[in-house]
């Protein structure tokens, strides 16, 4: 009996040391992998820095689209702790509404320039953002509101169901084939880096997305509606006691997220000039991954995650020295996600949140 007690006592320090060894091993493995990626990027930059600069700038353009959609995910999660899987399909509706307003109603076509083109595109942007805001608020009112106090699985399954409903509604109105057009935005080069060029179409995407992201920050941080939304996210019962209409605050969050998805859909369509009923699946998956990567519930983290994925996608497909190739993009994105979550389970900028009521 005494021998067993002494043996157990002697093994306790060793057992306590095992988790520390495991933690340090995982840490150094992660640092080694990160170092490999950094060295690969440096090697590509040295071999062809012209290409590296242009590919990275293209990553900012693609990342802006992911950031717009990812913030919509994180807004809803931050206030309801709900993953709105239908959000990617709201994005698809934004692209389709853009095609209807710009092409069918306003007659936008390739080769236009000047104020008529940008006036028509601005009208299409407002239509897409407004329609998607209303659509997202309707989804919240019809599908999610009555399930706020239900077990977590019920709203999750409902969100997946709404995703199929919205995507199939697009198929009903627009068909299963691509809706496409000739290049809409000016494609001339703004500047050249060696034999690589950076076009006006990419800059215009940034001129749309950056002000929208700055405007979102102002709305959330400075306006009465934004403060009500943040208070509701902290504690719904306390917000009610302070006189805040919680239902309106939640509806506002859905509307704001929908407007961002509509803006993303607009940017996607005028930049890539095509869309389809199932477009939201891949974009939504990448955007949701970006939100988790940056820290779900954190607006700045969602934007950062979007740009990280944009860089990964373009570095992988645009760099030529030992790049895995476009077929590996999805795998690389999720490998990165797994590694980030191993070291920071709450994402790059995420924090541990207390249970909210």
Buried b (16+ CB within 10 A) or exposed e, 304-339: bbbbbbbbbbbbbbbbeeebeeeeebeebbeebbee
Domain assignment of residue 354, yes or no: no
pLDDT at 26 over 80: no
| DSSP per-residue string spanning 246-283 | HHHHHHHHHHHHHHHHHHHHHHHHHHH-EE-TTHHHHH
**Residue 248's CB: how many other CB atoms inside 10 A?**
14
CA angle 197, 70, 277 (to 5 degrees): 80
Could you tell me if 168 and 277 are in contact, meaning their C-beta atoms sit under 8 angstroms apart? yes
Q: Based on the structure, what is the number of domains in the chain? A: 1
What's the token pair of residue 334? 């999720």
* pLDDT tens-place string over residues 55-110: 999 999 999 999 999 999 999 998 888 889 999 999 999 999 999 999 999 988 77
What's the token pair of residue 147? 């399930």
* pLDDT tens-place string over residues 101-154: 999 999 887 767 778 889 999 999 999 999 999 999 999 999 999 998 888 889
Residue 146 CB partners (closer than 8 Å, separation 6+): none
| Structural domain boundaries enclosing 115 | 26-343
Could you tell me if 234 and 357 are in contact, meaning their C-beta atoms sit under 8 angstroms apart? no
| Per-residue pLDDT at 351 | 65
**pLDDT level of residue 325 (50, 70, 90 thresholds):** confident
**pLDDT level of residue 5 (50, 70, 90 thresholds):** low
Domain assignment of residue 8, yes or no: no
Domain assignment of residue 147, yes or no: yes
**pLDDT level of residue 53 (50, 70, 90 thresholds):** very high
pLDDT at 345 over 90: no
| CATH number, residue 223 | 1.10.3470
| DSSP per-residue string spanning 44-81 | HHHH-HHHHHHHHHHHHHHHHHHHHHHHHHHHHHHHH-
For residues 194, 197, 203, 209, the Cα torsion angle rounded to the nearest 10 degrees is -90
Tell me what the pLDDT averaged over the chain comes to. Answer: 88
Domain assignment of residue 38, yes or no: yes
Domain assignment of residue 313, yes or no: yes
Could you tell me if 191 and 198 are in contact, meaning their C-beta atoms sit under 8 angstroms apart? yes
| Per-residue pLDDT at 319 | 85
CA 11, 16, 20, 22 torsion: positive or negative? Answer: positive
Domain assignment of residue 11, yes or no: no
**pLDDT level of residue 218 (50, 70, 90 thresholds):** very high
* pLDDT tens-place string over residues 234-280: 899 999 999 999 999 999 999 999 999 999 999 999 999 999 999 99
Residue 102: C-alpha distances to residues 86, 204, 328 (Å): 24, 16, 34
- Per DSSP, the chain holds a count of helices (H) and strands (E) of 12, 4
Domain assignment of residue 106, yes or no: yes
Using a cut of 0.85, tell me whether the model's pTM lies above it. Answer: yes
Segment 305-319 shows an average pLDDT of 92
Domain assignment of residue 1, yes or no: no
């Amino acid at each position: 009996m005494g021998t067993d007690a002494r043996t157990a006592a002697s093994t306790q320090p060793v057992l306590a040391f095992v988790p520390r060894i495991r933690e340090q091993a995982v840490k150094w493995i992660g640092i080694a992998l990160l170092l490999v990626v950094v060295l690969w990027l440096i090697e590509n930059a040295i071999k062809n820095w012209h290409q590296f600069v242009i590919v990275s700038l293209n990553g900012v353009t693609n990342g802006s689209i992911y950031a717009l959609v990812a913030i919509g995910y994180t807004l809803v999660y931050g206030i309801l702790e709900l993953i709105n899987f239908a959000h990617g399909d709201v994005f698809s509706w934004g692209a389709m509404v853009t095609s209807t307003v710009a092409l069918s109603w306003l007659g936008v076509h390739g080769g236009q320039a000047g104020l008529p083109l940008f006036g028509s595109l601005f009208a299409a942007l407002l239509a897409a953002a407004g329609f998607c805001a209303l659509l997202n608020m309707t989804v919240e009112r019809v599908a999610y509101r009555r399930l706020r106090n239900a077990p977590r699985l019920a709203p999750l399954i409902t969100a997946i169901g709404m995703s199929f409903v919205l995507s199939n509604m697009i198929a009903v109105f627009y068909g299963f084939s691509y809706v496409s057009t000739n290049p809409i935005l000016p494609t001339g080069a703004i500047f050249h880096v060696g034999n690589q060029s950076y076009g006006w179409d990419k800059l215009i995407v940034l001129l749309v997305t950056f002000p929208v992201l700055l405007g979102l920050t102002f709305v959330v941080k400075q306006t009465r509606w934004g403060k009500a939304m943040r208070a509701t996210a902290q504690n719904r019962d306390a917000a009610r006691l302070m006189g805040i209409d919680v239902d309106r605050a939640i509806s506002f969050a859905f509307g704001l997220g929908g407007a961002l998805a509509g803006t993303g859909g607009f940017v996607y369509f005028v930049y890539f000039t095509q869309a389809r009923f199932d477009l939201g699946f891949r974009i939504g998956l990448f955007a949701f991954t970006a939100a988790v990567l940056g820290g779900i519930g954190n607006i700045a983290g969602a934007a950062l995650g979007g740009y990280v994925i944009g860089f990964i996608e373009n570095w992988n497909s645009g760099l030529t020295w030992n790049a895995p190739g476009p077929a590996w993009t999805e795998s690389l994105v999720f490998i990165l996600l797994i590694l980030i979550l191993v070291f920071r389970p709450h994402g790059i900028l995420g924090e541990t949140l207390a249970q909210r009521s």
